[in-house]
Structure 1
């Protein structure tokens, strides 16, 4: 297992600068963000230009990683694969296939995305839509030696009322999406506010073999504010779908999750993938300097829990 970081929070830095900085902060892997470069996604990170990605590009990126002692744990493009607009859904699927092609050319075996949701339809209809549209994407990946993964972020910000808009948010849905050919990028931060025990959920996912990648993000919960607003968050005073009022994401070390237990559970199950810090902390964010400091806090929290080299037989890790 290697400690890595998801590059999405560092959209203002090019990949070569991230690769130079990451090892100095204690990171050994990058989960590389690969959103499209166009006017609709200027706020997203595009650290790999997957459209028209060539063998020369792959050699250049792999050389960059090698020069800094890094590996790529996954290529990530988290978009709504069940978008209600067929033209937009087709555009998203084309870009996701390009991400899969790029991962294959780099020798990276994992691509992380979302299941998504058509917010104009009930969930039952969405399940049928997913069973129609998503298995071809999973097969496309598998044919190229890549495992397609869905992260368990509820994406409540996509729904006008703040309800889950990514049908990958619970263990029940993990079992369902496995039937579509998808694995799981497990992020424990999304589970406590949904009333899901992150360790029980992780053990279930590891037992089923669905976990392909892990992201490290923490959560801070205000129990008194939850009593005021309820589990769905603010209603009359909400300013945007993510303005819930009683919880917020934090970097590991600044929230409530027990990272010692989470990482020990991964080791106990024989998990051999990587764990990538995802930075969405409003306290350690807003500027590049504060974001980088938040990344350092996360590395200092998680580094002591992760083996840097395989232990010799008979020795403790």
Structure 2
């Protein structure tokens, strides 16, 4: 395994400064934002796809630093019911797939998207209850008319370019659990997999270890985010896990994101890393920092330190004792 970082947290630095900084921390990989919600601070697909010299300079800079690009990330809602919004996210996704193909980056990370509840809708509708029955009708329409048809087309486009799609299992989007990921994978094919982030499993009440096993049995983990979550049971009792308060209201929220080791102990993270290897995932562990109690540098540095203790870096040898 290699330790990496989702570079969006260093958007205030240049790409070269970011590469030097993470290299000094002992990282070997970087996940780079290419549009959508993560933005394009370190990589503009429009520029690189239209200018071969700029593309070569970008590639040479990365190679010179000895850093691997684990994924290009373009999170957005390509199924947004407002067509102009969906189109912008879609264009960013397609350009990112094209760029990943040129750079030989194996994974593009994004969200599944979430449609509205009918053709004339203005806003996404995320059904989370089976009753009243209208919610089941909405969910059926979304998957049959929007989610599956869209990803069949885009999935084939990516597969034709030898690029895998890593969908982050995130609340508010149609694919947000292992079951919904596998439902889409069954319909579209193995090009679809998870960009698995345990922080989103914990707040949904899903054990990340079991999520890894469920997805790993299908070889359906394409990428992995290292981010933690802490649950405040007193606030859960009041607001529930679907707490709609701002992330900035940390004292009163039911749950909040933390840096690695500050929501769950190192043993838990050692189990996560071991379970990833158990199911055959030996790719990059990409740190995502969204901890409201720590600065970027401190939160990132503590995540690096904690993960270095548990990361399994050497390739497996024979079981000499068997």
Normalised by the shorter chain, which TM-score bucket?
0.7 to 0.9
* 1: CA distance, partners of 2:303 / 2:158: 31
Alpha-carbon deviations, 1:252-310, whole Å to 9, x = none?
011126110000001122212211001111011xxxxx202211100000012223443
Matching residue within 220, 230, 236 for 2:240:
230
Uncovered stretches (5+) of structure 1, i.e. residues with no partner: 155-164, 285-289
Q: Which residues in structure 2 correspond to 1:46-125 (within 5 Å)?
A: 46-54=41-49, 55-119=52-116, 120=123, 121=125, 122-125=138-141
Structure 1 counterpart SS, 2:19: helix
Kept after mapping to 1: 8 A contact 2:169/2:177: yes
* 2: CA distance, partners of 1:270 / 1:242: 39
Name the structure 1 match of 2:296. Answer: 291
Matching residue within 129, 133, 150 for 1:133:
150
* 1: CA distance, partners of 2:231 / 2:112: 26
1:23 equivalent to 2:12? Answer no
* 2: CA distance, partners of 1:201 / 1:313: 28
**How far 1:134 sits from its partner (Å)?**
1.9
Alpha-carbon deviations, 1:90-142, whole Å to 9, x = none?
22111111001111111111100101112445333221211222211111111
* 2: CA distance, partners of 1:240 / 1:175: 29
Kept after mapping to 1: 8 A contact 2:229/2:263: yes
Kept after mapping to 2: 8 A contact 1:221/1:256: no
* 2: CA distance, partners of 1:207 / 1:312: 22
Name the structure 2 match of 1:287. Answer: none
* 2: CA distance, partners of 1:4 / 1:291: 15
* 1: CA distance, partners of 2:94 / 2:40: 18
Structure 2 counterpart SS, 1:208: coil
Between the two structures, name the one with larger relative contact order (CA 8 Å, sep ≥ 6): 1
CA separation of 1:91 and 1:229: change in aligned 2, threshold 3 A: closer
Name the structure 2 match of 1:186. Answer: 196
CA separation of 1:276 and 1:240: change in aligned 2, threshold 3 A: closer
* 2: CA distance, partners of 1:302 / 1:177: 31
Name the structure 2 match of 1:12. Answer: 12
Give the alignment's TM-score, normalised by structure 2: 0.84
Name the structure 2 match of 1:255. Answer: 263
1:195 equivalent to 2:200? Answer no
CA separation of 1:240 and 1:69: change in aligned 2, threshold 3 A: closer
Name the structure 2 match of 1:168. Answer: 175
Give the alignment's TM-score, normalised by structure 1: 0.86
Count, aligned residues: 293
* 1: CA distance, partners of 2:291 / 2:248: 17
* 2: CA distance, partners of 1:292 / 1:315: 42
Q: Structure 1 stretch 83-92 or stretch 142-151: which is displaced more?
A: 83-92
**How far 1:46 sits from its partner (Å)?**
2.9
Matching residue within 285, 307, 315 for 2:312:
307
CA separation of 1:33 and 1:242: change in aligned 2, threshold 3 A: farther
Kept after mapping to 2: 8 A contact 1:186/1:215: yes
